[in-house]
Structure 1
Amino acid sequence: MDSQKFDSIIFDCDGVLVDITQSYDKTIDKTCRYVLKEFAKIDSITIDHKIIDGFKSSGGFNDEVDLVYAAILSLYTANKLNKKPSEFIYDVISNTDKTGIRSVQSYLESIYDVSEFLSKLGSLGDRHNNPVYSIFDQFFFGPELYGKLFDKQSKFSEEGMISNDKVILSVSLLETLQKEFGKKIAVVTGRGIESIRYSLKDMMDYFDTKNSAFLEDEPRELAKPNPATLIRAIQSMESKNCLYVGDSMEDYMMAKDAAQAGHSTTFCAIVGTSTNPEDRRKLFADSGVEMILESINDIPKVLNLV
């Protein structure tokens, strides 16, 4: 791969710069269990990596709380229909498409009236007043960071799952990339800026945050795979040939749409943080992705920077 082909590099965060299998993924399961118990008196099955990957492979679940909703609604419906939850949830997954939670809700509404339960869960479009978002954020951020971000007191006292983030990014990698790309190193991620800064700390100084996008802080309609924020970043940095590094189908779809809109963008897939890297590799390969790497630490070698 000719390193001169690219004049900028933009990263996703979760699963790319940070391994989230013990943080975000565990929060998904914990939130599902809590909400189903508190709101519907239902004991949940474990929302494991197969279920998470199943929903995410559709390309419509960049927002983890959307996935929580999908799992909660699926398991609630399974309970009401006396279906085996561990089987029914995969039936839902097989009827999910890139519209994400909308496709899940549409499928479930075609077989059972979930409107009453949905009214308890509230609207996903209102993050700050939605009970499921609130519970997820309290579990993920922990009381101190939750209070700082939302100016509210958490009703839970345990340490936030964000403390389980495993940072993959290193200063040495950033310095290598900086020599090649200068200031054209950015982030387009589903996280908010304070959340990513909490985990990456001073390494955030290497990124062009002004021309990055932190989608948790943006309007919901800009969520991946909408390419608008990636295109905005590319244009703001005046990039002619961008390398976008992600780990999910929505990342690939976003980069592909940006390229189709006339903004030269190549997608690089990271698979090593997946709980099943070979399945993830096959998913990307079957979708036509040519650059598939185990880790971001392989980027300098692939781009002939070392």
Structure 2
Amino acid sequence: MTEGYKEFATYNGLNFIKNYAELKKYEAIAFDIDGTLIDSRVSYNETIYQTVSMFYQWVVGFKPPKDEINSSVARLRLTGGFNNDWDTAYTILMGLYSGFPDEILKVLSFTDYKFFKDYIKVKVNKESLIETSIKALNYLLMYADSKGLQSIEEGLKKLYNKKDKLNYLIKIKEKLNYPNLPRKSLLSTVFEELYLGMDLFKETWQAEPVFKIKKGFIEDEKVVLENDVKTFLKKKFGNKIGIASGRPKKAAVKILKDLLGNFFNPESSFFIDDVYARSKEQWLGKPNPFLIEQVIKNLNVKSCLYVGDSYEDILMVKNTRELGYEVGFVGVYGFSLDVKNFIQKFMEADADAIIPSVNDLKFLF
């Protein structure tokens, strides 16, 4: 498993590195945020589960098993096509719904979604429905790959071609109006309200919250970057430290606070807001090279090391290299739901180093 990598242990866990000399050559460094700079396991994973649960419970009156949902999240993150947690929540929900009997889906496909004011609560056998919906979810996840939502739509068509179930699922998707932004899509609205809470939701999306959730799961997040590591990185890279993240800027500022300016170069920090602003004919989010390319251009460097926690991150690095840029990759696995498989994936993708925590960067140079 570790062929080609030097292995050493720190208090955070096992570290794997290919070549110390190669890592020393980079002029700049850029970071992902979630799962890298921030422990977002509780916030994002819980938001995914609660979003899926609201839609599931609305129909049948009980929640799906949390361990199965977390397992599905881990599987999707290994594909390289699900950096957006809205997409993850949507995929899991459609997988679960596809296990519902057609008579339930028919009712659901013609139901006006009024923000869960009343549960439909159809009568079902709880154990039986959970079993069939989880089985259907696992069938759908077999089709998930780096194409993201496209692979899911293709999977649904292959599984339920020429069946009423497919037509019902298509109508349900239309009701959800997904993919789309909060205010337009019920699913992304629910997700963002649960994650941000009502005040930050209103500030971020310029819309009135529906559920009036005072405390979002974002409040459970914490920055894990230690002071001695910040000092070390600042000494090595100076002002050439940027961010390339799929997180909204306002949500990033709330958690990073004055680090964005005092540590990270604000002119070379890019977020999902920049992706939305520039995506016209082509989606520029991960694994598109857009975010890293902007960091490199604004830092005016020839080489950059990127630190991230997902398979999309290393795909983004590879896509950036194809444009002629010299970019290295360090994978952080400590907050993964499936540590063993993430390490394996990073190795198969030829990561320059694989570390348990961003704080182990000080041992790489």
Same fold (TM over 0.5): yes
Letter in 2 for 1:195: A
Q: Does 1:190 align with 2:246?
A: yes
Q: Name the counterpart of 1:250.
A: 312
Between stretches 289-298 and 47-56, larger displacement belongs to 47-56
Q: Name the counterpart of 1:59.
A: 80
Q: Does 1:90 align with 2:111?
A: no
SS in 2 for 1:269: strand
- 1:220-258 deviation line (CA, Å, top 9, x unaligned): 611100112211211221121210000101000000111
* Alpha-carbon distance in 1 for matches of 2:290, 2:61: 39
* Alpha-carbon distance in 2 for matches of 1:127, 1:158: 18
- 1:149-205 deviation line (CA, Å, top 9, x unaligned): 223332233411001113212343222211111111000011011101111111122
* Alpha-carbon distance in 1 for matches of 2:145, 2:325: 25
- 1:32-79 deviation line (CA, Å, top 9, x unaligned): 1112333x4474422533211101111111111011110111111111
Q: Name the counterpart of 1:200.
A: 256
Q: Does 1:109 align with 2:157?
A: yes
* Alpha-carbon distance in 2 for matches of 1:43, 1:239: 53
Q: After the TM superposition, which residues 165-184 of structure 1 pair with which residues of structure 2 at under 5 Å, given as runs?
A: 165-184=221-240
Asked whether the equivalents of residues 74 and 89 of structure 1 are also in contact (C-alpha less than 8 Å), the reply is: yes
* Alpha-carbon distance in 1 for matches of 2:40, 2:101: 32
- The number of equivalent residue pairs is 302
Query: TM-score, normalized by length of structure 2?
Result: 0.78
Aligned-pair identity in percent equals 25
Asked whether the equivalents of residues 95 and 138 of structure 2 are also in contact (C-alpha less than 8 Å), the reply is: no
Asked whether the equivalents of residues 289 and 316 of structure 2 are also in contact (C-alpha less than 8 Å), the reply is: yes
* Alpha-carbon distance in 2 for matches of 1:275, 1:103: 22
* Alpha-carbon distance in 2 for matches of 1:41, 1:116: 19
* Uncovered stretches (5+) of structure 1, i.e. residues with no partner: none
SS in 2 for 1:16: coil
Superposition RMSD on alpha carbons, in Å? 1.9
Letter in 1 for 2:151: S
* Alpha-carbon distance in 2 for matches of 1:146, 1:171: 30
- TM-superposed deviation, 1:268: 0.5
Between stretches 7-16 and 46-55, larger displacement belongs to 46-55
Asked whether the equivalents of residues 98 and 137 of structure 2 are also in contact (C-alpha less than 8 Å), the reply is: no
- TM-superposed deviation, 1:210: 1.7
Instruction: State which of 44, 47, 50 in structure 1 corresponds to 2:71.
Output: 50
Pair 217,228 (structure 1): closer, same or farther in 2 beyond 3 Å: closer
* Alpha-carbon distance in 1 for matches of 2:27, 2:198: 41
Misfit runs of 4+, over 6 Å: none
- TM-superposed deviation, 1:216: 4.4
Letter in 2 for 1:106: E
Pair 216,57 (structure 1): closer, same or farther in 2 beyond 3 Å: farther
* Alpha-carbon distance in 1 for matches of 2:309, 2:186: 29
* Alpha-carbon distance in 1 for matches of 2:348, 2:34: 22
Letter in 2 for 1:282: Q
Instruction: State which of 288, 294, 298 in structure 1 corresponds to 2:356.
Output: 294
* Alpha-carbon distance in 2 for matches of 1:80, 1:261: 48
Q: Name the counterpart of 1:79.
A: 100
Letter in 1 for 2:79: S
Asked whether the equivalents of residues 190 and 214 of structure 1 are also in contact (C-alpha less than 8 Å), the reply is: yes
SS in 2 for 1:129: coil
Query: TM-score, normalized by length of structure 1?
Result: 0.92
Q: Name the counterpart of 2:111.
A: none
SS in 2 for 1:274: coil
- TM-superposed deviation, 1:282: 1.5
SS in 2 for 1:265: strand
Letter in 2 for 1:209: P
Letter in 1 for 2:133: P
Asked whether the equivalents of residues 99 and 134 of structure 2 are also in contact (C-alpha less than 8 Å), the reply is: no
- TM-superposed deviation, 1:87: 2.5
Asked whether the equivalents of residues 44 and 75 of structure 1 are also in contact (C-alpha less than 8 Å), the reply is: no
